[in-house]
Chain A
Amino acid sequence: MTHTDWPLWEVFVRSRRGLSHTHAGSLHAPDAEFALRNARDLYTRRGEGVSLWVVPSSAITASSPDEKDPFFEPSADKPYRHPTFYEIPEGVPHL
């Protein structure tokens, strides 16, 4: 383990009220503050009204998992991220 090592964290996201948190993936961060911020940047593109949990991977006790990951929507206020934003001529297949 080198002195530049940033530990691994697991990220859980609740994308809307009424849903529960689901596992979104993992990331490296030096501490909890950065883990939270990096998770926001990476897994939600800072969508508002989202709840995030970050947990050091080493803190998780697991049995045989059977989890599915949520399918993430990009941030709603960045229209150029959505394919429908572009004016592609009609009839161009496969776009």
Chain B
Amino acid sequence: MTTTPAEDTARTAAALALGDDALVLSHRLGEWAGHAPVLEEEVALANIALDLLGQARVLLSMAGDEDELAFLREERAFRNLQLVEQPNGDFAHTIARQLYFSAHQYLLYDALASGEGPFAPLAGKAVKETAYHLDHAEQWTLRLGDGTDESHARMQRAVDALWRHTGEMFQPVEGLDVDPAALEAAWLERVTEVLRRATLTVPEGPRTGAWKAGAGRQGLHTEPFGRMLAEMQHLHRSHPGATW
């Protein structure tokens, strides 16, 4: 099956968007290593981080050299959602971020897997992983929301704080053979059901920013992202051309 140059460019753009989501979130989860709240979560969070990194490597490789893309692009060239670059915060914040993102990623991969586009093979494998990530996030959302007063307060704060990043997930992505907007209703239904069962209040308020210039998919990120990239890229950039 041959593709036109325009289709290739679009496909590359989509691969970068999805790949950067997975790359950046994997990096954030990797920051928990060595100080997770309980030893069992060291294993669980690392599992999720490794799955995401695996997805990122496949996706980035569809767009070029995985390491060149990961380590030599500047902030404005990254296409990940602003949601995934948010700092870990406390464990509740990390779980809320995971809940919102995995619920979206699961629906997206499920839709891609049942199509015949270039992302179908990866999506078919990744959807099982993502189901597990979503399950993990939901189980923790229930326990933190419906646990102690302290955990409930922390979880409510977290879901409220990240709510404004959730709209971006449903904006169109060029070159993707699924329209993210079509997933929004199902996402809302799933997420609000879990939040309610966790005795949490579903946040209100805007789900996108007012800034007309755009957000993560347009290469506009948040301040923590630049610092994260500086740490991530520093060693690789210090030895130009070296192999590891």
Contact = CB atoms under 8 A, between A and B. Distances in A.
A and B touch in the complex (CB under 8 A): yes
Interface of A: 6, 27-30, 33-34, 37-38, 41-42, 45-46, 78
Contacts of B38: 6
A89 B238 CA distance: 28
Interface residues of B, number: 11
A34 B47 CA distance: 15
Interface string B30-61: 00000000101001100100100000000000
B137 to A, nearest CB: 12
B139 A34 contact: yes
Given A41-B47, A46-B47, A46-B132, A33 B40 contact: no
B27 interface: no
Contacts of B43: 38, 41-42
A46 to B, nearest CB: 7
Q: Is the interface of B mostly helix, strand, loop or mixed?
A: helix
A38 B135 CA distance: 12
Nearest to A31: B143
Given A27-B40, A42-B43, A46-B47, A37 B143 contact: no
Given A37-B44, A41-B47, 19 more contacts: A6-B38, A27-B40, A29-B40, A30-B143, A33-B139, A34-B40, A34-B139, A37-B135, A38-B40, A38-B43, A38-B44, A41-B40, A41-B43, A41-B44, A42-B40, A42-B43, A45-B47, A46-B132, A78-B50
Interface of B: 38, 40, 43-44, 47, 50, 132, 135-136, 139, 143
A90 to B, nearest CB: 21
A2 B48 CA distance: 30
B135 to A, nearest CB: 8
A37 B139 contact: yes
Contacts of A45: 47
A76 to B, nearest CB: 13
Contacts of A30: 143
Contacts of B143: 30
